[in-house]
Structure 1
Amino acid sequence: MRMLRWSAGVTLLDKVRNIHIRGSYKIAPIIDKVKERRLRWYGHVLRRPEDHMVRAALSIPTTARGAGRRPATWLTTVQKDLKEIGIDNTVAQNREQWKMQTRRADPR
């Protein structure tokens, strides 16, 4: 964000919100970019053959954990992202459709 402010000629003393600066440069929030990349990788893994090492790693069960809130795993985070977008795993086999439904970060 500092680089965008510098290129826009805006300082923190000008009291311009980050969302306005990102909007003027048409740059998505970093959270959206991270979700997009995570789902892109997940689609890549799902298109692998069943016997591939990376695809087999998805089915490894997690170990039992102690009491308290369970830490989020990568797979649970991806499932939450998929639920938020409203798509399921079967779309990943069609690469073009997967790309169109998961690429939401760039506001162009």
Structure 2
Amino acid sequence: MKVYKTALKPVLLYGTVRRKEENLLERTEMRMVRWIAGISLRERRESADIRRMAGICCIREKAREARLRYIGHVKRGAEEDPVRRAMEMEMRGRRSVGRQRKRWKDTVKNMHCKRRNSRSGSQ
């Protein structure tokens, strides 16, 4: 599992990940973990049980943590930093008709709201 945690997981998480890609990442991760642990699909063991046995968490959670870590890094940066200015920039004009494509900013905002709601419910 050390090889998975130190070499494979960082490679899987490199770059921006969309929902469709998250599903593919999760399948790829489980295929690798099953192969490393020597567990066949025919054994019909649940992914959560395999993750618990291997001592790893879901790759979706790691991708979420990475997004939140990056947004924190940008927010703590200097006001005149180009990345921060681009992130906080508001575009004028109208967006096109129909369902809008989800922006990275929307994803992070949604994750932040879910995290805040889960904290207030557990207290």
Q: 1:69 maps to which residue?
A: 99
Comparing 38-47 with 16-25, greater Cα deviation is found at 16-25
Indicate the structure with greater helix content.
2
- Out of 23, 48, 67, the residue aligned to residue 52 of structure 2 is 23
Q: Aligned equivalents of 2:96 and 2:86: distance in 1?
A: 23
Identity of aligned residues (%): 36
Select the residue among 81, 87, 102 that pairs with 2:111: 81
| Matched letter for residue 66 of structure 2 | R
Pairwise CA RMSD: 1.6
Structure 2 match to 1:13: 42
1:46 pairs with 2:75: yes
Where does the alignment leave 5 or more consecutive residues of structure 2 unmatched? Answer: 1-29, 118-123
Structure 1 stretches (4+) deviating beyond 3 angstroms? none
C-alpha distance in structure 2 between counterparts of 1:64 and 1:75, whole Å: 17
Query: 1:73 Cα deviation (Å)?
Result: 0.5
The residue aligned with 1:60 is 89
> Which SS does the other structure have where 1:31 is aligned?
helix
| Count of residues in correspondence between the two structures | 87
Q: Give, in angstroms, the shift of residue 61 of structure 1.
A: 2.4
**SS at the partner of 1:58?**
helix
Separation in 1 of the partners of 2:33 and 2:88? 41
Distance 1:56 1:4 in 2: 40
Give the unaligned 5+ runs of structure 1. 88-108
Task: Please report how far the alpha carbon of residue 16 of structure 1 lies from its aligned counterpart in structure 2 after TM superposition.
Answer: 0.8
